[in-house]
Structures are given as C-alpha cells and as structure tokens.
Amino acid sequence: MTVTESAPRPTATFREGAFGPARELVCRECGTTRELGPHYACHECFGPLEIGYDFGTVTREQIEAGPANIWRYKALLPVPDDIESSPNLEPGFTRLLEAKNLAAQLGLTRLWVKDDSTNPTNSFKDRVVAIALSAARELDAKVFACPSTGNLANAVAAAGARAGIRTVVFIPSNLETPKQVNSAIYTENLVAVDGTYDDVNKLASEIAGEEDGWAFVNVNVRPFYAEGSKTLGYEIAEQLGWRLPDQIVIPVASGSQLTKVHKAFQELITLGLVEEKPYRIFGAQATGCSPVSAAFKSGHDVVRPVRPDTIAKSLAIGNPADGVYVLDIARQTGGTVEDVSDDEVRDAIVLLARTEGIFTETAGGTTVAVLKKLTETGQLDPTLETVVINTGHGLKTLDAVTDRVGARATIAPTYDAFVAAEIV
Ligand SMILES: *Cc1c(COP(=O)(O)O)cnc(C)c1O
Ligand SMILES: [Zn+2]
C-alpha cells in the first residue's frame, strides 16, 4: 500500500496503541477522514467527526472476563489496552432492573429500567467523561474542562480530581444548587456563566480555540467523549443475555447518547455478538426544550434552536449538536421523538419512585413520562420488550418534587395523636 498523503502524521507522536482499536476520525456528513487528535469538525465541510475503528475479533467470553465497569468493553472503545491502570472512577455496569410494577401500571408486558443513577457521580455522564479523560491524558492536555448543564460538570470535576489533572467547569448560573455543590466539592474552578447552556457552550468553543492544552470533553475531544455512551447500549444487550430489546426510550439533550446507543447496537450486530433484529428507538424531551421533538412532529429534517424553559435542566440544550441524527435514527428504526410538560415530569418522578423504588432526576422523569405518553398514544407497542434509561439521580433535583411529596401529617409523639391522624 502506498501512502500518497504528504502531510505529517501527528498520530505518530502519540503513544503506541494510545487509542486502542480506534484508527481515525471520520466526518459524519461527507466521510472525509483525518488523523486521531483533538479535532471535532471536518475541514472539508465542518460536519461533526466521529471515531472510526478497526475492530479485531471480539468475543462475548472476552468481554465477560473483564471488570464490572465500562472497561470490559475496551476492545470497542478508543482507549489503550492498559486503561485499567490509569486512575479513573470506573463507571458503568449499572443495574438493569425489570420494572414489573411500573409495567403493570402502564399496561406493558415487559419493561426494564437501565439505572445509570448509580454511577460514581450519579449520572450517565461518568461514562463519557472516562473516555474523554483517557483521550485528554494521551493528548497530554493540561486542563480538563467542559461546558455543562450540570451532570457533566460533576463528572469532569470528580474524574479530574482522582486523575490529578486541573479541572475548570462552566455552567449556566441558574443551575440547581445541588448540581453546583456537586461540582464545587471536587474542583476550585466552577465558573457560573450568566446565560443559557448554549451561551456557555459557545464560550467554551472560543476558549478551546484560543488556549493551548485544554481538553474540553464535549467540544474538542467530543468524538472520544461521545463513544462513552456506546457502553450503555453494550450493557443493555449483555444484561439481557446478549440480545437487543424491541424498544428503547432515551432522553435527548444534545442527542449524543441516543445516537451512540444506536451505534452500539449496530456494532454488536456487525461483530456477531447479538443476533440482528428490528428495534425501535424513541427520544424523550421536555416540552420547554423540545427542538428535536418539534422537528420530528412537523416532519422537518432540520432542528430549529429554541430558548430552554423547563425544570429538566440537564436536558436543556436549545441547539442540540446531534439533533438531526436523532431524527434520522427515530425515523429509520420506526421510533418517534415525544415531549412532555414539566408537570408530567414531576408526576413521573413520583411514579417511578413509588412503583420501583428508584429516585430519578428530572431527565429520568422526562423519559418515564414520555414512555407513559408513548404507551397511551399507541406510538409504542405495549406487547414488546421495552427498556427505559434512567440517566441521573433525584437527589440532584430535589426542588422539582418538594411540592409533590412530604410529610403526610405532623403529630404529637403519642399513640392517640397517631390514631387521630388516620394514617392507616
Ligand atoms: C447529559 C444528560 C443526558 C443526555 O445527554 P445527550 O447530550 O443527549 O447525550 C440525559 N440525561 C442526563 C441526566 C444528562 O445529564
Ligand atoms: Zn465532512
């Protein structure tokens, strides 16, 4: 094979095997490739780049012999083979719980909750951050940073602390107090920006362009970051006994997670790790920030940005980077994208807690509420096996339900008072 490209190959400066089976960056729009590195936009068409791989043979046995965290899938990720030896929070392999009570309540035959609230910083973001951290290390970044709607900042700050790398995290200043504290506890450098998430994101891109040595997990190392979401798809398939579900409901902020769960399912099929079968992917948004749902419903191929106004702040991205890909995947697989009101989100948080003992944040409330709506409107087939993803923990968004739940009665410490209160 002759190499015709005259440009130097910066990959040569990386450690041998730094990115495992990853070979190159590929433009999702025009297919142009370039070398692995801190790049996120195609130099031909400005389309988003994603990781291209050369997978060798990967077997179920090899994966099952791995650790009970995302590194069991390292043969499918852009990480070095010795990834387990670098300090990180070891996220993943969270529980997949059969939700019989919620299924009965909604009239579904078989329902599972993939509960990512049990990750180290209590959201699915620990998965994506672990991959971004590995890339940042291999790229010799000096600062580990992100613009965030909350959970990402928590995960970056914690992972950076453990890895001993300087962190700077940027959030919209109107974020819930628990999410601010959950970042500030791990880092001195929490920066609150007066603006929406989309303003924060723009600022981050500017800093990434001006400053050297900054790895913004979801900006200049986004192709690596995004691959972390694939592990959700791998785990669901493995935990179902190496099969794909029939239907899956996934929350949509930037749309990256939904896109990569689909990529994961496709890879598993291609590698022969699961049998090929049809599955439908549904996207969930809150009505107060539902640009993708709006585009889906009106049959548009473009996603028109909105200014978010919803309690589901972790999903409040008005200009979602992967919105158009979410539309494609929902349409291709026979799914839909649906949205629900803040009140429906609150009700669904309580519903999940009271049926399954799982306390989810507003993003999970959105997803469960959308599951309910999809079932009621007949968009989802109740006889098919369904998975719903809970992406974050309710303790981070307590305010959302403090008006909904509380003490049934306040009584004197006497048996008479208890009887008078008619609790049972
Ligand atoms: C970030 C986030 C999501 C969705 O993220 P995408 O940007 O769509 O990948 C979902 N749930 C929670 C709790 C999140 O923090
Ligand atoms: Zn391109």
Domain boundaries, the chain: 96-120+226-400
pLDDT of 82 above 70? yes
In ligand 1, the atom with minimum distance to the C-alpha of 361 is: 13
* Distance (Å, whole) CA 232 – CA 392: 13
pTM of the model: 0.95
CB count in 10 Å sphere of residue 222: 25
Task: Look at strands 166-172 and 190-193 and give their pairing.
Answer: parallel
pLDDT of 386 above 60? yes
In ligand 1, the atom with minimum distance to the C-alpha of 255 is: 8
Span 109-147, pLDDT tens digits:
999 999 999 999 999 999 999 999 999 999 999 999 999
Task: Look at strands 280-286 and 337-340 and give their pairing.
Answer: parallel
Average pLDDT, the chain: 95
| Cβ of residue 122 lying under 6 Å from some atom of ligand 1 | no
Ligand nearest to the CA of 30: 2
Quick one: pLDDT at residue 1?
Answer: 31
| Cβ of residue 125 lying under 6 Å from some atom of ligand 1 | yes
Ligand nearest to the CA of 46: 2
In ligand 1, the atom with minimum distance to the C-alpha of 317 is: 7
pLDDT of 416 above 80? yes
Q: What's the half-sphere exposure (Cβ side, CA atoms, 13 Å) at 407?
A: 4
Percent of the chain whose pLDDT exceeds 90? 94
Q: How far is CA 206 from CA 111, 154, 216, in A?
A: 43, 22, 11
**Which residues, 6+ apart, have CB-to-CB distance to 236 below 8 Å?**
96, 112, 114, 244, 245, 248, 261, 387
Question: How many angstroms is it from 77 CA to the middle of ligand 2?
Answer: 22
Buried b (16+ CB within 10 A) or exposed e, 203-215: ebeebbeeeeebb
Which amino acid, residue 160?
Answer: G
What is the average pLDDT across 207-218? 94
Span 175-190, pLDDT tens digits:
888 889 999 999 999 9
* Distance (Å, whole) CA 84 – CA 77: 13
Quick one: pLDDT at residue 296?
Answer: 98
**Which residues, 6+ apart, have CB-to-CB distance to 194 below 8 Å?**
173
Closest by Cα among 196, 156, 206, 178 to 317 = 196
Q: How far is CA 267 from CA 104, 274, 334, in A?
A: 33, 9, 19
On whether the CB atoms of residues 328 and 283 are closer than 8 A, the answer is: no
CB count in 10 Å sphere of residue 5: 8
Question: How many angstroms is it from 23 CA to the middle of ligand 2?
Answer: 17
pLDDT of 9 above 50? no
Quick one: pLDDT at residue 325?
Answer: 98
On whether the CB atoms of residues 154 and 371 are closer than 8 A, the answer is: no
Span 281-326, pLDDT tens digits:
999 999 999 999 999 999 999 999 999 999 999 999 999 999 999 9
* Distance (Å, whole) CA 389 – CA 367: 7
Span 10-27, pLDDT tens digits:
445 788 899 999 999 999
H/E segment holding residue 125: helix 125-138
Listed in sequence order, the DSSP H helices in 337-381 are 342-356, 362-376
pLDDT of 4 above 50? no
pLDDT of 7 above 70? no
Q: What's the half-sphere exposure (Cβ side, CA atoms, 13 Å) at 91?
A: 30
pLDDT of 2 above 50? no
Helices then strands, each counted (H, E), the chain: 14, 13
Ligand nearest to the CA of 156: 1
In ligand 1, the atom with minimum distance to the C-alpha of 254 is: 7
**Exposure of 379 by Cβ count < 10 A (0-12 exposed, 13-18 middle, 19+ buried)?**
middle
Task: Look at strands 280-286 and 214-216 and give their pairing.
Answer: unpaired
Quick one: pLDDT at residue 65?
Answer: 98
Question: How many angstroms is it from 41 CA to the middle of ligand 2?
Answer: 8
CATH number for the segment(s) 96-120+226-400:
3.40.50.1100
Question: How many angstroms is it from 116 CA to the middle of ligand 1?
Answer: 11
Percent of the chain whose pLDDT exceeds 70? 97
What is the average pLDDT across 101-116? 98
Substitution candidate for ligand 1 out of 314, 359, 362 with most atoms within 8 A of CB? 314
Nearest CA to ligand 1 atom 11: 391
| Cβ of residue 252 lying under 6 Å from some atom of ligand 1 | yes
| Cβ of residue 69 lying under 6 Å from some atom of ligand 1 | no
